[in-house]
Structure formats: structure tokens, C-alpha cells
Structure 1
Amino acid sequence: MKDIDGFTIAIVGLGLMGGSLAMAFKQHAVGRRVLGMDPNTAAVERAQALGAIDGFFQDVREADLIVLAMPVRAIAGWLITYGPALAPEQTVMDLGSAKRAIMAEMEKLDAQCIGGHPMCGKETSGIAAAEATLFKGATFVLTPATHTSQGTMHMARQLVSAIGAEPLVMDADAHDRAVAAVSHLPYLLSANLVNTVLEQNDPNARLLASSGYASTTRLAASDTRMMGDTIASNRDYIVRQIDRFQSALAHMREAIAAGDDDTWRVQLERAREGKRNEL
């Protein structure tokens, strides 16, 4: 069984997620050392100044656990480039929000691999937005590879629990299908609502936009590179969700246009009850 207390942990990518994870590790005394790497040297310096990392991650063989906290395609690229150099006793984990492309690369490695996706975040990005409590109470999906050992799974659960999150084991396909509906589609709806309002070029709309518009469009401010990689890596399931939403919206539009108040009111009541049952 792997003992994370003695681990050297390396985090590649010190933005919102990677920076928050480093802070959480430090706050909860996870690992012996936490190292960091980021293409932005200012992010590494900031992480060191915040006490989130102990030093710079330079040699892939020096870490017991490597966590990849980058956009999905960057994670896959790292695995292709550096993964073959990892030893079988090392473990690599990721925080990507689409799992199939990442797991396909992990399956090729000799190292222990475990996919991960914490279901939390903010529309702001970068180390300046990081916070140690980001994962508290969040569901943290764990996606094992076919060669992931029971010891690695135990370690991953232990790590997730240590930072206050709730581990949930799920295969890559089931994960990508679900997040297309509850994460990726909401981002696209938020972005397109903003664009719809902008295209109207109505100065009064800005004057009247209040809490409803703000809460509905919050996700539109998310990092477009990160979300772009996610969309490109999960396009099949996202397109299915867009089709479902367009069909539902078209049905409601037809009812409103025809003055069929009973039909569109039923749809609204169904949504209201469904949302209330979530709470």
C-alpha cells in the first residue's frame, strides 16, 4: 500500500486548479514535498511565495506522484512526451475535464495511472485565483486505467479525502457523457447568451442586466483555452446535448409563438420541480 505521507508530489500546471491543489496539499500536510512546474515562470514564483510549493519540478523521475493540471490536450501531449520515461512504481494523475482522450494515453504507460476530475472551479483563472478550500465538499471523479493497482486506487482515494473532496469512481465514457450535460453544455449556453445580447447592441440591456443575467452568464468568463480543449475532446457527447437542448427550446418556442400557454407552462413547471428536487 502506498503511503502518501512520504511522497514527493509534483504538480504540472499552476493555474486555478493546480495552484489550489498545491495549497490544499500544504494546508492538509499531504506529502513530504510538493514541487511545481508551469510554462509561466511568474506562476511558479507566485506559488513559492505563497508557500504552495517547495521547489521547481525538473526531473520526471524525482516525483512519486505527478499531477497534471492543464487543458485536456496539453495533458495528453505531456503523457505522450514524458510518460514513457516514468518508472512502473511512479504514479501519474490528471485533473482534466474530459477523460477518454487522456485515459487512452495513460493505457500505454508502464507507470501507475489514475484519471481525475474534481467537480469544482471558478470562472476566474490563474494562480491568483487559487484557494486551498476549492475542493472542499466537491465530488472528485477517479477513473482507473486497466493496469491501475488496488494500492494506487487506495492512495488516490486517500489523497482526495485528505483535501476535503468526495471520491467517486467512474469510467471515462460514463464521465464524459455526464459532464457533457451538466458542465460542458452549460458553458456553451452561457457563452451564447452573452453573444446573443451583444449582437442586439441594445444599450438598455446593459443597464437592466441584474442578478439573473449575471448568474446565468457567469461561466462565459471561463478560460477559453481550457474550455476549448474540453469541447474538442468531448465533441460527440456535447453535440448530442446541444441537439437535445435545441429540440427542447424549439418545442417551447413553438408553444409560446402559438399562444399554447399550457404547453410551455408545463415545461417550466417540470424544470422547477426538477431543480427543487436537486436541493
Structure 2
Amino acid sequence: MGCFQSLGRLLLIVINIIFFLLGLTLIIVGFILRFGESIYGPMLEVGMAKLQLALSDTSMANFDVGSIQLGEVMVGLSAGVIIGGLILAALAMFGWCGACYRMKCFLYIYALVICIFVLAEALTIGILYGKPDVVKDPVKSQMSDFKGLSSSEVYTLAWNIVMIQYKCCGVDAYTDFTSTGAWTTAAAGVTLVTPIACCKDLPTGNSVSDFDCATSYNATLSNGMTGCFDTIWDLSFGKTLYAVPVLVCCAIIQLMFVIFAIIVGKSSEQNEKVRPL
């Protein structure tokens, strides 16, 4: 048992050092998302270039897409990544200090927080796989803020770039967008049924026929029924062959941390009881 305790203590020390470094990495990534757009900007350059070309060809707007501050678009995501990194780094410090100095209070707090994290992760994954509408509906409720291809507002610009980059439309389909608003009117004066960014090939002029891909839904011309949620999901968690084993392994590893923390904590209690006066 003593050998198992020593092994558990060693693993807690080493792995929590790794997690602390990972937390610091997430914090750096968060700041890069907010302030280092020159680093990740090239990943979106296809969508941005197509958007710029469409704006020029249709004369719908004259702003420079490249001048848009992507950091403003990423502000929510960057804040989440930074907070996540801080939490991970703080938790790793608790685990490291508790294991290194046999501080049972730190170890028990560490084990409790890990248990809460495992339950929260299981709940989140369960919602994403079983009831994705819990995530989709709040996003859909904000779709009325969408202004169309010609808008330089951060929210609209983000949607336009994502829909062009990933060849998708809305959360589930073009019907997610409200049928009223600035986006429904194009440069040629036609009434749009789907956002222009949902077109498979963006308009190259400003005549009525150039907007055929958006004046009515046509599967040949539009990505209108290809939801962005499912598209991005399929590129990430949707790959169940890889995602499920990884998620299961992560859960097992975290539960092992809990077991090791409790064992080392109990060992510290026993040492305190036999400590000579």
C-alpha cells in the first residue's frame, strides 16, 4: 500500500505540473485570440477574402474586411479560454501543493473540485450529444441581430465569415434568420429569402440575376439547409470514433486523480496520528 501511495503522490505532482503549464498555455492562447489576430487570422482568410470580393463585386459596401479587428469578434471566446486557463492553473496548484507537501486540506478540496468538474463535463457532453437544442436555442434567439452581407458589425461579420468559410447557413438552416430586417434587401433591390453568405458561390455583380442564390432557396445554389452547428460539430465532437475514447480516457484519468488525492490525504492523516510529541 505504501508503494501505491508513493506512486499516486508522484503522479499527482508530475501531472499537476503538466496541467499547470497547460493552464498557462490556455491563458496565453486566450490573449492571442484577443490581441494576436495576425497569428490566427490566416485561418479565416478564405472566408474573409470571399466576403471582400463579394462586397466589391456587388457594391453593397465599401469597408475593408481586412481592417476589421478580429479580436473584437473573439472577445467572448478569448475571455472564456483565459478564465478556463486560470481555473485549470489554480486547480493544478492545489493538487501539486497538496501532494508535494502532504496538505490533506488541499488534497480534499482538489478531489472535490475534480468530482464537480467530472459531473459538469458529463452533463455538458450529455447535453451536446442528447439535447443540442439547449445550446442551439439561445444562439437562435439572437439571430434577429443579423444585418446582412454589407454590415461591418461584429456579430454579423462573424456570422458571415463562418457561413462562407464553412459553407453553412445559420444554426440549423436559413430559416433561423428572421424574415424581416436589413439583410433581406440586396443592392439590386430584390427581397432575399436566405442570407447572401449562404450562397455556394457569392454574387459577382449587382444585377437581379446575380442574387438568384438568395432570392429563393435552391439546393443547387445555396447552402441554406446546411446548419453551421452540425458542420462544426462534425469536424470536432461529431467524430465519435475519436471523440468518445478521448472523453472516456479523460474521465478515467480525472477519477484516478480523485482516488490518488484521497489516498495521499488519508496517508497524511495517519502520519499525523503517529507523529511523536
- What TM-score bracket applies, with the shorter chain setting the length? under 0.3
Structure with greater contact order relative to length (CA < 8 Å, sep ≥ 6) = 2
* Structure label with greater radius of gyration: 2
Give the number of the structure whose residues are more often strand, by fraction: 1
Flag the structure with higher helix content.
Answer: 2
> TM (normalized to structure 2)?
0.26
Please report the TM-score for the alignment, with normalisation by the length of structure 1.
0.26
